[in-house]
Chain A
Amino acid sequence: MQNQELIDHLFRTEFRKITAVLCKYLGIDHIDIAEDIAGETFLSALETWPYKGVPPNPSAWLYAVAKNKAKNHIIRGQIFADKIEGTLTSSLPQEYEIEIDLSDQNIADSQLQMLFAICNPSISVEAQTGLALRILCGFGIDEIANAFLSNKETINKRLFRAKEKLRAEKIKIEFPPPTEINKRINAVLTTLYLLFNEGYYSESQDSVLRKDLCLEAMRLTYMLIENAQTNLPVVNALLALMCFHSSRFEARKNAQGEIILYDDQDETLWDKSLIAKGAYYLNQASQGNEITKYHLEANIAWWHTQKADTPEKWESILHLFNQLLVIEYSPIAALNRTYAVSKVRGNAAAIIEAEKLKLTDNHFYFTLLGELYKEIDTQKAKQHFAQALLLAKTSADKQLIQQKIDKL
């Protein structure tokens, strides 16, 4: 029996459930204790299962152990003083019933409530995604450090400070009132969007880890959709966007881990079922009157699941980027819009638009100019690619640009 494998799997799925329920139960002041208890629970499993055998229902076993550990902690610890002592007048502590509810419903509720608590604007977005990975996804500190291309110490410090801040701000672990959901959901979606991008665009060499990040971001987004109160069009739009992007996950890199550009991708590797799911959520997202940046980005991503270059495709993409830029400027959207201009109105027209962008510290800017000049002025194309090469930071980007120069 591969105990280690089973424990790894359970760790992934159960650690986050136990942590969320305990966080909810103990309050924001005791996130660390919740994490410790969940960690100790798995340690107990590691210590006993190899000798006594795996229990028939491993999840139930873990929950029972976690409950016991939590009860012991509450009874003997400082938490008891904090939580109970002040409010008790005469009854004995022993009579106090500690009920830790590990039902599916409470697990789902606690995770959602933690999600809203963590996505609080008082802490940085990096800290929000880090905490979400730790508490809601059960990632180890090593994995988080790897995902952020950072080290353990930095991540530990970041998470420590974030927890301190949540404590100081007295953030409550609760569902926002219905009138507040629309306002609060944006912060949650921003965090999930970044979490997904962290996986999708990460420079980390660990492709399993990168995929896990994307899947976790999708799982948490799906959790919002499963709850009637947070099943909003904007949430569906974000999930649609994630489905379309991740459908190309296998086609984006070759066996050597090098990036394969969209035009060169083998579309038979695109995941059709994810594209279909994305279309479903995009349809759900179109209910209501609001068009958010997630709607626009999901629509753009849908067009990219259509490999054939039709005039309709690029006109639609250009139109969507126009709308997106009006809602929110970003250099990458500006560059992508200009690429769409080249597809609709030709390279000469796109060069005029591109040169207005003046993103002279961005290597994508010079790569785009190089591409646009390729058939018009090889010398200029070469100069722009050379400039892009100077500005590129990662070896993957440098490699791609070098290939373009070699092909000229």
Chain B
Amino acid sequence: MDEFILIFRHEDGNKVASPEQIQIWMKQTMDWIGGIAAQNKFVGGNGLSFDDARIVKYNSVVTNGPFGEIKETIGGYIIVKAESADEAAEFAKGCPVLQGDGNSVEVRKLAKRDGVH
């Protein structure tokens, strides 16, 4: 069993949703994660806040961000256990983030800390 990270990519992080809409998404996300956890395959995860975010660039230039200049932003991630990338991708299909047009979930295998992989 390997660990995979599912990274939520939002096409436009600037869109402001209503509190009611956010509550619905929260519930859907919790239920999606609950379904993975019920299979004992949830490892961890978190949402990433846009508040007080910074982008640090070449030459140590720091800007507030990631607003405006970056088209796509990362909204959060979870880490799951799966037999294969395909199984991890099956989990990703249920992610409520995908209800947003243009959004995507990137599935990546976590490197094993054995210096080989």
> Which residues does A use to contact B, with CB under 8 Å?
318-319, 321-323, 325-326, 329, 333-334, 337-338, 353, 356-358
Contacts and interface: CB of A to CB of B under 8 A. Distances in A.
B31 A325 contact: no
A329 B37 contact: yes
Given A325-B37, A326-B34, A333-B38, 18 more contacts: A318-B34, A319-B27, A321-B34, A322-B37, A325-B38, A326-B33, A326-B37, A326-B42, A329-B38, A329-B40, A334-B37, A334-B38, A334-B40, A338-B38, A356-B35, A356-B38, A357-B38, A357-B39
Interface in B31-72: 31, 33-35, 37-40, 42
6 pairs of A and B residues whose beta carbons are closest in the complex: A322-B34, A325-B37, A334-B38, A329-B40, A322-B30, A326-B37
A319 B27 CA distance: 7
Nearest to B35: A353
Nearest to A344: B31
A334 B41 CA distance: 12
Contacts of A329: 37-38, 40, 42
B46 to A, nearest CB: 11
A333 B35 CA distance: 11
B40 A322 contact: no
A319 B34 CA distance: 8
Nearest to B45: A326
16 contacts: A318-B34, A319-B31, A322-B31, A322-B37, A325-B34, A325-B37, A326-B34, A326-B37, A329-B37, A333-B38, A337-B34, A338-B38, A356-B35, A356-B38, A357-B38, A357-B39
A386 to B, nearest CB: 24
Contacts of A322: 30-31, 33-34, 37
